[in-house]
Structure 1
Amino acid sequence: MGATSHGLQKALLSLLVPLMVTGGLGNLTTAHAATTGVPITAPAQPDKYRTALSEPGFQTAQRQYRRDIPVQFLGINDLHGGLDNTGMAWINNVKYDGVGHVSRLAAYLNQAQRQFLRVHHSLNTFRLQAGDMVGASPANSSLLAHEPTMHALRAMHFQLGTLGNHEFDRGLGEFNRILTGGSPGADADSVVKRYPHRATRMQEVVSNVVRKSDGKQPYGYQPYVIRTVRAHGRSAKIGFIGIETTDLPNLTYPRNYKDYRVLDEAETIAKYDKLLNKKGVKAVVVMAHTGAGTWKGKTSGDAVNILQKVNRIDPDNNVGLYLAAHSHQYANAVVGKTRIVQALSSSRAYDDTQGYINPRTGKFSTLETHVYPVLSAQDDPLTKTNRRVDRIVRDANRRVAGKINAVIGTAATTAAIDQTSDQNGESPIGELVVDGQLYEAKRKGQPADFALTNTGGVRSKLVVDGQKHITWGAAQAVQPFGNVLQIIEMTGQQVVDALNKQYSAKGALQVAGLRYTYTGKGQQTRVVRVTKTDGTPLDLQAKYRVVINDFLHTNAKYGFVGTPVVGSLASDTDVFVQYIQDMQAAGKTIAAPKADRKTPQSDATPVTSLTVAPVTTPAA
């Protein structure tokens, strides 16, 4: 009757407070498909409360479902090894500051599960994750091959999860090693070899990633799993389907996915929903690394599109809950008859879904979904930090402290250099990164004209302490991937085409060594004038040397594939660290660059009369 580990069951049972199951919340059945007159996408229950303890719908059992089986799903997504990350979160248009840290996340998950246990006398709780648990991570996870993150997930009793794109960062085999607690290779760093290797006890479920060689899921992962829940002497089954984004080839190196195929998300969900239906499973939960976002009552994104497609090809599907991920946004809505939810990223929030299954039909009777912030101890002192998980984080920090805490530079102010892009797409820390890459090319005797990097590869603001110190760990968090920097040769026209393609590909670039003027909005944006930093117009026929990372060079999404490589530098991580160290040695402080590299056109001058026109239209 349980979905928890035996140890956690004992801990929760010891906290059980006998309560009478009384009446309460009214019928909150899920919305029906568009054929019933209900909009395809509709708002879910509003998220007005800071914790599940305050949620009105979670205070008492619903009398009308007293013969049904209560269930709870606690979910996270996009942890990204953010063991002790804290920051800001927007949930239902409300801003929360200082949220995050896995030890606080653990405390809230336990709190929510204890509440469910008290109200329903039930252990039918499932802890789920929707991918990107590792990758693009701070040093206290990445320097230890992300094994501290695996330890934290184990301590938090996560049972089921799916793959995100970042699980492929070091190859799926390496992710499977840390998932299962295998020993590292002979070439691993000594600090990794000394770290304890333990299995997470978490089962990976992925339906649409299959080996090209035989069409099977890799490493024995299952396309779906079935779990039985019980209450009142009755039982029912829940099916869990795992989904990877089909955008995977645009998000990792070809060598990391060359052996696999990623099948259509909606078609795969429909396929396994029907299979589960044949097995008598009428309640289905999807964990999918596809994004959604809710803002001012409106929800959109790939996950919404996928569910709409599922409803077209499988209108009688039994998908009641869809855990979204990948876009790092808040989402809580109803798509057709399915509740969709997403809890930001990096331990800043979690989602709590509670409801009932009718044991006669096997279907969800009702589900209620909410997203809550992971508040700091200062903002919520009554919720005590989980000591076990906190010890895991402190131990990881201790093991890498010598490297992380080394001061490598001095900032102009004590304020962090922000990651957020302005309305023109200029990120202060992103532009500092590419400035450093141009500097490094010149320092290595391989001068380049421009440097371009993908905004998605710049993962954090640059944190500065009260003495204006910049540490190695702070710099590493900005550029954690370790992508190799290459110098390629491009014509001026190819540079313009790449600048244009960032808009049609929805993959913004940070630029150094050039400035440009643009017109239009969204995917219709077009570059109309490009100059070097000194104001010299770009010559469309001339050849220029451009620094990019090898991820950009192998990714057709950005338009650099096939350009000749004429030089190489170190990894982007090492180059950024070295740049800060060199500025320190030269007695220079680090400051945010002036945002003057991308300028909207301010007049109605026809595009064809401007310097770089005509510009070829990039592929979609």
Structure 2
Amino acid sequence: MPSPSLRRVTGAAAMTAACALAFLPGAANAAVEPETTDLRVLTINDFHGRIEANGDEVGAAVLAGAVAQFKAENPNTIFASAGDNIGASTFTSFIQDDNPTIDALVAAGLDVSAVGNHEFDQGFADLRDRVIPRYGSGEWAAGVDFALGANVYAKGTTEPALKEYVIREVDGVRVGFIGTVTSDTATLVSPAGISELDFGSQLEAANRVAAEIADETDVVVLLTHSGAATEDCAAIAGEQSEYGELIREASPEIDAIVSGHTHQLYSCDIADRPVISAHQYGTTLGSLEISVDAATHELVSIAGSTVDLATQELDENGEEIDVPQFPADPEVQAIVDAATEEADVLGQEVVGTISADILRGGNPPGDDRGVESTMGNLVADIYLWSTSPEYANYGGEPADIAVMNPGGLRDDLLYGEDGTVTYEEVAAVQPFGNTLTTTTLTGAQLEQLLEEQWQPGNERPKLHLGISDGFAYEYIEDAPAGEHVVSMTFQGEPIAAEDEFLVTTNSFVSAGGDGFTAFLEGTGTSDTGLIDLSATVDYFAAHEVVDPAPLGRAAEYVAEPTPTPTATPTATPEPTETPTASPEPTATATPEPTSEPSTPPTQKPEDEHLAPTGTDVTWALAAAAAGLVAAGALLVARRRRERA
């Protein structure tokens, strides 16, 4: 298959020739035939089981209605996903293993999908044996097009574990779709569930498959479950990450890149091709508009854009509300309604009360996993409580510290009208059903764990752990690798490298998930068998009111200001028994006293209280003065000898 630039030149030449022929005799009939075949590829990413409408999340039914309307406008339309269709879902889908989401997307006309990291949440066996067949109405072979993963290999081999690509023919045009998933997947899901898999380079896999299918396709689209950490196209083009390398160095055979994973919204042109990401949760559709020469099947043009599925309008009270821009599809709405009814009974059970909003990090909450949050610290507190004698269901050794990864927190708890919290709301915070584990870590390993929060080069360069009450540390944000943590304390006492602590976390993190490999170096790891969601529900039942956990357990280090030096005052010598020496003589020596005073003493005024003075007194005073002068001279000589 020719490169995009060559295909566009060829296509432009064909159009020029067609225009010229239109002016030639007998060319009228040829001009009736269309010059190009126009196709559209609609895309979603990171749907995460948001089948019910919620604000700008229009739900599966409106999403299906939008796809149907676009297909009505142009039947040459393909509906594709860049992964994470399921996992980290809302309660209605989560409580039913995301089966309603799969059914709704199939009914909405989804044609092809890359696999996302969340498709592996319940392990590869679940993906292979349940999820993929569900997409194919029970047939594995029919469902493989919905879990493309060209860089997913059988452990220790280069043998693909999933289907790598699919080719769809529309009105004679062959469109190839290659699927890849972030190579970080190995750290984003429970390692135990993917022990038989390796996740390789996306770039290598995408370019390898593009070369293989070049002669079989007219257009190639890469569906990558990987994305940028920003929505700024200039920054994306220069991003130093696996994704940045992928979008810059992908083969010229790849005509467009559809992205996901980071939940961003962008439509860029990078390396002479469109690169798009359609936000998250069914708020937006991505769109690729493709024109192919009808005669030669050469690519004439391809452009990317995004389409909002809801817009903000004012209601009758002047309040802004989100209004869907497309009608709901009745078939998909029926699937959603049935799923909602099934989840309602258990979901609406009140499990506890909160005193105020409990939120994830960022603004809006959940937007920034790199900062401390009240939700992260609270869940760490719940973990610690769950592995203590206070919890009747735990019979193990009491833990000292607990930590919670921010990626495991998928929703907030809002106070609402009265602070009541339902099962559904609690489940939305931790939807993965992990078990709690305990591991013994040394102080040095604890420090390593904290250092692993900084992950430069990854799509999320920092993952701030929630930590339990009693554990605290100071850190420097901008520091070299391994030098962020300044100090750590437990119950107010400094932690030494050789100190040992029993640390609780979830099974995902304890297996090295999210890159927190320090747990793999710990000792005595034990799976308690406690499900995080069940333990959380029991925590709420045991506490009349649950407060947001305080911030400040992790504090940014502030160096003590260097004091400004001041002049040192001259010390006043302490008095001694020895009289202070007289000043050293100057060039003019003090004359020795003579037997007769050189001038007569001055007569002082008489005072009736003093004895009368006379010559004898005058001479006595003169003698005393002479003695003092002599003593001073002796002291000066002595000081000189001491200095010598």
Identify whether the pair has TM-score above 0.5, normalized to the shorter chain: yes
- Mapped contact 2:278–2:284 kept (Cα < 8 A): yes
136, 142, 145: which one aligns with 1:203: 145
Three-state SS of the structure 2 residue aligned to 1:273 is: helix
Q: Letter of the aligned partner of 1:266 in structure 2?
A: L
In 2, Cα distance between equivalents of 1:434 and 1:113: 48
Provide the residue aligned with 1:324 in structure 2: 259
Corresponding residue for residue 20 of structure 2: none
Letter in 2 for 1:166: H
How far 1:500 sits from its partner (Å)?
Answer: 0.9
Aligned equivalents of 1:416, 1:85: Cα separation in 2: 23
CA contact (8 A) 1:530 1:538 kept: yes
- The 1:376–1:466 alpha-carbon spacing in structure 2 relative to 1, beyond 3 Å, is farther
1:44-101 CA-to-partner distances (Å, cap 9, x unmatched) read xxxxxxxxxxxxxxxxxxx9x96111010111111121222636xxxxxxxxxx4342
- Structure-to-structure mapping, 1:139-158, within 5 angstroms: 139-158=91-110
What letter matches 1:70 in structure 2? D
Q: Assess, with a 3 A threshold, how the Cα gap between structure 1 residues 78 and 500 changes in structure 2: closer, same or farther.
A: same
Check 1:293–1:526 CA distance in 2 against 1; reply closer, same or farther (3 A cut).
Answer: closer
Question: Matches of 1:438 and 1:376 in 2, distance apart?
Answer: 43
- Aligned equivalents of 2:371 and 2:497: distance in 1? 24
- The aligned residue for residue 417 of structure 2 is 466
| Residues 1:284 and 1:500: Cα distance change in structure 2 (over 3 Å) | same
Matching residue of 2:590: none
1:31-110 matches, within 5 Å, as: 67-84=35-52, 86=54, 98-110=56-68
The residue number in structure 1 matching 2:404 is: 453
- 2:325 and 2:257 map into 1 onto residues whose CA distance is 31
Which residue does the alignment assign to 1:547? 504
- Judging changes above 3 Å, is the alpha-carbon distance between structure 1 residues 432 and 372 closer, same or farther for their aligned structure 2 residues? farther
Please tell me whether residue 309 in structure 1 is matched to residue 249 in structure 2. yes
Distance 1:228 1:331 in 2: 27
> In structure 2, what is the equivalent of residue 270 of structure 1?
207
* Contact 2:227–2:259 under 8 Å retained in 1: yes
- The whole-number CA distance in structure 2 between the counterparts of 1:104 and 1:206 is 28
- Alignment match of 1:113 (pick from 63, 71, 86): 71
> Matched residues in 1 for 2:424 and 2:263: separation?
23
Q: Structure 2 vs 1, CA of residues 182 and 130 (structure 1 numbering), >3 Å: closer, same or farther? A: closer
Deviation at 1:553, TM superposition (A): 1.8
Work out which of the residue numbers 372, 379, 385 in structure 2 matches 1:426.
372
Q: Does 1:229 align with 2:165?
A: no
| Alignment RMSD (CA, Å) | 3.1
Shift of 1:488: 1.2
* Displacement of 1:161: 0.8
Distance in 2 of aligned mates of 1:508 and 1:530: 15
Q: SS of 2:494's equivalent?
A: coil
Distance 2:80 2:346 in 1: 33
CA contact 1:452–1:546 (8 Å) conserved in 2: yes
Residue 523 of structure 2 aligns to which amino acid in structure 1? Answer: P
Deviations 1:323-345 (A, max 9, x none): 11111222321220221111122
2:477 counterpart of 1:520: yes
Aligned to 2:571: none
Could you give the per-residue CA deviations for residues 514-549 of structure 1, whole angstroms, max 9, x where no partner exists?
A: 1211113287560102123x4222232211111112
Cα distance in 1 for partners of 2:170, 2:322 equals: 36
Q: Give 2:231's aligned residue.
A: 295
Residue 241 of structure 1, CA deviation = 0.9
Distance 1:349 1:423, change over 3 A: closer
Give aligned pairs, total.
501
Question: In structure 1, how many angstroms separate the alpha carbons of the residues matched to 2:230 and 2:326?
Answer: 28
The aligned residue for residue 601 of structure 1 is: 557
Superposed displacement of residue 142, structure 1: 2.1
Match of 2:493 among 521, 528, 536: 536
1:161 is the counterpart of 2:113: yes
The CA distance in 2 between the partners of 1:236 and 1:112, in whole Å, is 18
CA 1:138/1:243 → structure 2, altered by over 3 Å: closer, same or farther? Answer: same
Could you tell which deviates more after superposition, 358-367 or 466-475? 358-367
Tell me, yes or no, if the aligned pair for 2:411 and 2:428 is still in contact at 8 Å. yes
2:181 and 2:202 in contact (8 A); partners too: yes
Aligned partners of 1:169, 1:80: CA distance in 2, in Å? 12
Is the CA contact 2:369–2:407 (under 8 Å) kept in the aligned structure 1? Answer: no
| Matched position secondary structure for 1:285 | strand
Q: Is the 1:292–1:302 Cα contact (8 Å) retained in structure 2?
A: no
Rounded Cα–Cα distance in structure 2 between residues aligned with 1:292 and 1:158: 24
Output the amino acid matched with 1:456. G
Report SS of the residue matched to 1:552.
helix
2 CA distance for matches of 1:144 and 1:333? 37
**Which gives a bigger RCO, structure 1 or 2 (Cα 8 Å, sep 6+)?**
1
What is the letter of the counterpart of residue 103 of structure 1? A
2:100 match: secondary structure? helix
Query: Out of 438, 441, 445, which is 2:387 matched to?
Result: 441
Secondary structure of 1:166's aligned partner: helix
Could you tell me how far 1:483 is from its partner in structure 2?
1.4
Distance 2:301 2:358 in 1: 45
Structure whose alpha-carbon radius of gyration is higher: 2
* Cα distance in 2, alignment partners of residues 129 and 309 from structure 1: 22
> Alignment partner of 2:115: what SS?
coil
- Alpha carbons of structure 1 residues 101 and 599: separation in structure 2 relative to 1, 3 Å: same
Partner of 1:507: 463
Distance 1:297 1:261 in 2: 31
Q: Deviations over 1:469-502 (max 9, x none)?
A: 1001110111111111111111112111110111
Q: C-alpha distance in 2, partners of 1:374/1:436?
A: 38
For 1:379, what is the secondary structure of its paired residue? strand
Q: CA deviation at 1:565?
A: 2.7
Q: Is the 8 A contact 2:369 2:463 kept in 1?
A: no
> 3-state DSSP class of the match of 2:291?
strand
- Output the CA distance in 2 between the equivalents of 1:418 and 1:107: 33
Q: Is the 8 A contact 1:72 1:352 kept in 2?
A: yes
Alpha-carbon shift at residue 198 of structure 1 (Å): 9.1
Q: Alignment identity in percent?
A: 23
Question: Structure 1 residues 417 and 292, CA, compared in 2 at 3 Å: closer, same or farther?
Answer: closer
Amino acid at match of 2:224: A
Partner in structure 2 of residue 186 of structure 1: none
Taking the aligned partners of 2:121 and 2:138, their CA distance within structure 1 comes to: 19
TM-score by length of 2: 0.71
Using the size of structure 1 for normalisation, the TM-score is 0.74
Matching residue of 1:364? 299
CA–CA separation in structure 2 for the residues paired with 1:271 and 1:553: 35
Distance in 2 (alpha carbons) for counterparts of 1:566 and 1:210? 29
Note the 1:128-139 alignment, pairs <5 A. Answer: 128-139=80-91
For 1:99 and 1:284, locate their aligned partners in 2 and report how far apart those are by CA, in whole Å: 30
The question of whether the paired residues in 2 share the 8 Å contact of 1:530 and 1:537 is answered with yes
Q: Which residue of 1 aligns with 2:574?
A: none
SS at match of 1:242: strand
Partners of 2:536 and 2:311 in 1: CA distance: 31
The CA deviation string for residues 157-181 of structure 1, in whole angstroms up to 9 with x for no partner, is 0011111112122233322444455
The residue identity in structure 2 corresponding to 1:308 is R
- Mark the CA change 1:68 to 1:488 in structure 2 (over 3 Å): closer, same or farther: same
Match of 2:281 in 1: 346
Structure 2 CA distance for partners of 1:267 and 1:482, relative to 1, 3 Å: same
Structure 1 residues 507, 361: CA separation in 2 closer, same or farther (over 3 Å shift)?
Answer: farther
Distance in 1 of aligned mates of 2:449 and 2:159: 37
Amino acid aligned to 1:429: M
